Amino acid sequence: MPKTLAWKILFAAAVVLLAAAAAVPIIRHGRHRIEVVAGPGVTRVARLSDFGPGLKGTRADTNVYVLEGREPGGKALIIANTHPSEPCAILAALIFIENTVVEKGTLFIIPNFNRSASLDTKPGDGYPLFYHIETPWGRKKFRYGSRDASPLDQWPDPDVFIHYPDRQLLSYIDARNTNRTWPGRPNGLLMERVTYAAMELLRGENVDVAIDLHGAETMFPVTNCIVAPDSAARLATRVSLYVKAREKFDSHVEPSPYGFRGLSHREIGDYSDTLPFLLEAPIPFLDQPTGPKTEKLLLDGKDPFLLKLAAKDKLFVPYDETGWPMDKRVGQHVSVMLEIFSQYSRQNPGRALSLSNVPRYADIVRNGTGRYFHDPKNADASRLYYE
Amino acid sequence: MIVINTVVMVTYYLMSAFLGFLLLRNFLKEKKNVDEMLMNLIVLLPLFLRLLRVK
């Protein structure tokens, strides 16, 4: 065999191996589907494209779980995975989907709002591809997604993202961020079509309350809080006081800024009659000055560098050796949502929403998040959905 | 805007395919310089992954 041919075969084999080593884990990540067992309250599962046909056939189309009560009442929408890199949101949403019984009113739940971003990864940031939640029947495996939609689905990025309809200039990357593209438009960029479809759901179904679930860095001031516009501020304040008094955790209220456009807590209130709330739970994993970005850090939130920063009063949340575990974050989200529904129902008895069989903060911290997920192997196939 | 985005995206895939073809051809035509062979393959890698819509 000539020497050059031998080099060529060797190099080609090496490059194919290199490409495969890079591609296979990413392909496996994108193909993994999270099994969801529809609980007793789920009466049907719609698609977001039912409300915004511009999503049909795209990777951004996603499931909308509908939980209708025996009696009519108020309506609420829970949105999770606006940023799939903030996993306490989808975990809290799945607890509702798999367990809730609705006595009065209707609950809409979109557990994977930015589905395109959930199929993408952040290998450049050293993020793990998956995380696992311990359950009584084994470990449940979740994709760990990116903050923004995949460039495979929406590309190229503009130099500057011009928000519609306010024309505010935002960072180019926010064109793929579903918490900057509200209220969206039917013929806009793919992520604008995602938020537009959600707005159509809110307006068409006369939804009373919308809750967008998030997580934020401990070094970011808007963390561990409820963000609400003026129209929802009184209710948010009451919720904050109740969870502090009854359940012994903090979730303070932050006002939704008028001048910062594209955010759910701003635009939902401005472009519909729905009261919007955005919940933030602290995620130490997302902070910049931490150790390696491991699955363990994502789940237990324990980091020695953040501990040193906490001693110097550089964090916006209390932080000690116990870290900020996932169960605590999920529990906070679930309890704050239940309290929002409870307070709204008290103020609007004609539009009340009555739910049962949902654990609260103390239950989730004591038993673990996984305790509330059901074994897909024992589920009826007709009740099994995939995210 | 959507039309322009789609045109740019399709053009980018076509450019990736064309550049990939040139790089592969250069790799096969190269007879002596081992560095050149390797460089052509390494540059081909991201274009190849993009064409397969992996990343």
Which structural domain range is residue A142 located in? 36-386
Look up the CATH number of the domain holding residue A107.
3.40.630.10
Whether B15 shows a pLDDT value over 90: the answer reads yes
Q: What is the pLDDT of residue A270?
A: 97
The strand pairing partners of A139, in sequence order, are A134
Instruction: Tell me: do A67 and A25 sit in the same domain.
Output: no
Q: What is the pLDDT of residue A1?
A: 63
B12 chain-A contacts, CB cut-off 8 A = 155-156
Residues belonging to chain B with any Cβ–Cβ distance to chain A shorter than 8 Å: 1-2, 5, 8-9, 12, 27-28, 30-32, 34, 37-38, 41-42, 44-45, 48-49, 52-55
Residue A315 tokens, joined:
């964090």
SS3 call for B27: helix
CB contact under 8 A, A23 and B55: yes
Residue A48 tokens, joined:
């977001």
Which run of H or E residues covers position A278? Answer: strand A275-282
The C-alpha of A58 sits at a distance from chain B's nearest C-alpha, in angstroms, of: 14
Instruction: Tell me: do A311 and A347 sit in the same domain.
Output: yes
Main-chain dihedrals φ then ψ at residue A205, nearest 5 degrees: -95, 0
Q: What is the pLDDT of residue A242?
A: 98
CB contact under 8 A, B37 and A7: yes
Rounded CA-CA distance A214/A179 in Å is 10
Q: What is the pLDDT of residue A3?
A: 77
B9 chain-A contacts, CB cut-off 8 A = 155-156
Candidates B43, B46, B38; CA nearest to A12 is B38
Rounded CA-CA distance A143/A146 in Å is 10
Main-chain dihedrals φ then ψ at residue A255, nearest 5 degrees: -75, 140
Q: Nearest Cβ partner of B2 from A12, A23, A187?
A: A187
Instruction: Tell me: do A6 and A153 sit in the same domain.
Output: no
Whether A319 shows a pLDDT value over 70: the answer reads yes
A24-68 pLDDT per residue, tens? 999 999 999 999 999 999 999 999 999 999 999 999 999 999 999
Rounded CA-CA distance A258/B2 in Å is 28
Instruction: Tell me: do A112 and A249 sit in the same domain.
Output: yes
Average pLDDT, chain B: 90
What's the one-letter identity of residue A140? K
Q: What is the pLDDT of residue A126?
A: 87
CB contact under 8 A, B5 and A155: yes
Instruction: Tell me: do A290 and A331 sit in the same domain.
Output: yes
What's the one-letter identity of residue A52? G
What's the one-letter identity of residue A256? S
Question: pLDDT band for position B16 (50/70/90)?
Answer: very high
Return all residues near A55 (Cβ < 8 A) that are at least 6 apart. A47, A48, A49, A61, A190, A193, A194, A197
Q: What is the pLDDT of residue A325?
A: 98
pTM of the model: 0.95
Instruction: Tell me: do A297 and A199 sit in the same domain.
Output: yes
Return all residues near A69 (Cβ < 8 A) that are at least 6 apart. A41, A102, A103, A104, A105, A106, A353, A354
Instruction: Tell me: do A221 and A326 sit in the same domain.
Output: yes
Candidates A379, A271, A333, A269; CA nearest to A109 is A333
What's the sign of the alpha-carbon dihedral A38, A212, A112, A136? negative
CB contact under 8 A, A22 and B49: yes
| Count of beta carbons in the 10 Å neighbourhood of residue A247 | 18
Q: Is A16 on the interface with B (CB under 8 A)?
A: no
Range scoring the smallest mean pLDDT among A138-147, A289-298, A361-370, B1-10? B1-10
Residue keyed to tokens 């509200």:
A182
Instruction: Tell me: do A100 and A199 sit in the same domain.
Output: yes
Q: What percent of chain B has pLDDT over 90?
A: 53
ipTM of the assembly?
Answer: 0.83
Instruction: Tell me: do A181 and A82 sit in the same domain.
Output: yes
SS3 call for A263: coil
Instruction: Tell me: do A347 and A320 sit in the same domain.
Output: yes
Q: What percent of chain A has pLDDT over 70?
A: 99
Instruction: Tell me: do A189 and A305 sit in the same domain.
Output: yes
Q: Nearest Cβ partner of A19 from B1, B31, B48?
A: B48
How many domains does chain A contain in total? 2
Return all residues near A373 (Cβ < 8 A) that are at least 6 apart. A37, A94, A95, A98, A133, A135, A140
CA A134 vs CA A130, A141, A161, A215, A259: distances in Å: 13, 9, 40, 21, 42
CB contact under 8 A, B28 and A8: yes
Instruction: Tell me: do A14 and A55 sit in the same domain.
Output: no
Q: What is the pLDDT of residue B1?
A: 72
